[in-house]
Amino acid sequence: MVNQSQLDFSPDAQPALNSLQGQLKRVIQLSIPAILAEISSMAMQYIDAAMVGSLGANASAAIGLVSTSTWLMGGLCISLATGFSVQVAHLIGAGRQEDAKDVVRQALLAALAFGLLLAATGATISARLPVWLGGDGAIRSDSSRYFLIYACALPAVQIRQLSGSMLQCSGNMRTPSLLNALMCLEDVVFNSLLIFPGFTIPLLNLPVPGAGMGVAGAALGTAISEYLTAALMLFSVCIRSPKLRLTAGGKWRLTRKCLGTAAHIAIPMAFEHTVLCGAQIASTRIVAPLGNVSIAANSLAVTAESLCYLPGYGIAAAATTLVGQSLGARRKDLARRFARLSVLLAVILMSVMAVLMFLLAPFVFRLLTPDAAVQALGVQVLRIEAFAEPLYAVSIAAAGALRGAGDTLVPSLMNLASMWGVRITAAALLAPRIGLVGVWIAMCVELCVRGLLFLIRLLRGRWLDRGFSV
């Protein structure tokens, strides 16, 4: 019995698999759980932002100052996870489950080592990072503590990302979605206990003591949630997954082919994340001199914008699985159609979300912060970004499809050209003249350019021959 989230390449399944209706159904089946996982991830960002935002603009600015650096670390974790999980998708598509399990074993060893290395690096630079980013003296201490605690959670972040990606590429989107939703609930509980000195449970009128740690409490609450969820994800892969569960007698030895293929996929992705987050850090340097209100508004607007691109990243995860398994089964025609359907669906959903974001921006910012100045500026820049969302959707979904084919080098170069050639250059020119609005105009233009580049890459179809052999 084939799970409804998995591709069935048997002869009996070919009519449904080859029809447009059947293909769209597959995309939607895999996208919905992935979108729900993205929603839970976004909810955690909103929870942290809203809870910390209630402490004032300085608290929001403290997290906003190092947010791009945390994204960089998280992006490197995703890169390593993708390098191994795409191999799993191809091997499962080719019907080689035992080989897929060997990849899982090697991936776990590599992930543990890499996560510890990232944690050590983050802890080492945490004290100086806010200074390097040009943060105001009033927020440096909180920023440093926040980043240090986050860095200590990176081994769990890496294992969670790897395990979730493995489950997704095996066709199981439901389990990662449920566990990410659970992590969201855990984050609410731990943040409530750690950020504030105490609170009262609504309806029950029951007072609950808290640690009163402020910004550091938000980081610690998230870190605890990451470790708990990573343990559950790991259990789901190694024990419960029908496709991937590990049994005695498997090979734990690292092989040159597996590591080489992972490097072929992951290194360009890591470069891409470094380029993107390096550009975000440069953008933070551009925003920092504009003052704490601009830093807070910028950080919260980025969080609010995630409402729009949640569907895109969920569909991208589905596209990676569908394209990877199709190519593993030697069905290039199917891989191409899944890629194009995924992009089309992402554009439709993100366009709808862009309209909602434009209309609901004032309400969203009232939820995130009580500071009127931050609200007014945040609404203004968020509405600018709404116009870029359709083409941003193209770049997100197309990147997911290209990853499924193992094509990561050219997309990373396109991101390099787009981010540094358009966004940072334009932002540096506009920020001194029109402030944060100029930074977000630059961002809007850059996302449109990026979307066009990815659309051209996808339609040309050369990526279908850029993958690796299984």
- SS3 track for 286-320: HHHHHCHHHHHHHHHHHHHHHHHHHHHHHHHHHHH
State how far the alpha carbon of 167 is from the alpha carbons of 9, 19, 139, in Å: 19, 26, 39
Cα 247 from Cα 170, distance rounded (Å): 17
What pLDDT does residue 215 have?
A: 87
What pLDDT does residue 176 have?
A: 87
End-to-end CA distance of the chain: 25
Which one-letter DSSP state was computed for residue 465?
Answer: G
Token look-up 């190519």 returns 327
Contact 124, 73 (CB under 8 A): no
Take residue 226 and report the two structure tokens written for it. Answer: 């990451």
What pLDDT does residue 19 have?
A: 67
Cα 209 from Cα 257, distance rounded (Å): 54
Summarised one tens digit per residue, pLDDT across range 177-220 is 889 888 888 888 898 888 888 766 666 677 777 778 888 888 89
Cβ neighbors of 34 (< 8 A, separation 6 or more) are: 168, 173, 176, 177, 313, 314, 315, 317, 318
- Rg of the chain taking only CA atoms, in angstroms: 22
Beta partners for 200?
207
What pLDDT does residue 211 have?
A: 79
User: pLDDT truncated to tens, each residue of the chain (470 aa)?
Assistant: 334 445 555 554 555 556 666 667 767 766 776 676 667 666 666 666 677 777 777 887 888 788 778 878 888 898 898 889 888 888 887 788 888 899 999 999 999 999 999 999 999 999 999 888 877 788 888 899 999 999 999 999 999 989 998 998 787 878 888 898 888 888 888 988 888 887 666 666 777 777 788 888 888 998 999 999 999 999 999 999 888 888 877 778 888 888 988 888 888 878 877 877 777 778 878 888 888 888 888 878 887 887 788 788 888 878 887 888 788 778 888 889 889 999 999 999 999 999 998 999 899 888 878 888 888 999 999 999 989 999 999 999 999 899 888 887 888 889 889 989 999 999 999 999 999 999 999 999 999 999 999 999 999 888 887 555 55
Take residue 26 and report the two structure tokens written for it. Answer: 């597959």
What pLDDT does residue 89 have?
A: 80
What pLDDT does residue 119 have?
A: 96
Q: What are the φ/ψ torsions at residue 3 (nearest 5 degrees)?
A: -60, 140
Q: What is the pTM of this model?
A: 0.74
State how far the alpha carbon of 354 is from the alpha carbons of 11, 89, 309, 372, in Å: 41, 32, 9, 23
Contact 30, 313 (CB under 8 A): no
Cα 436 from Cα 295, distance rounded (Å): 9
* Domain range annotation of the chain: 16-465
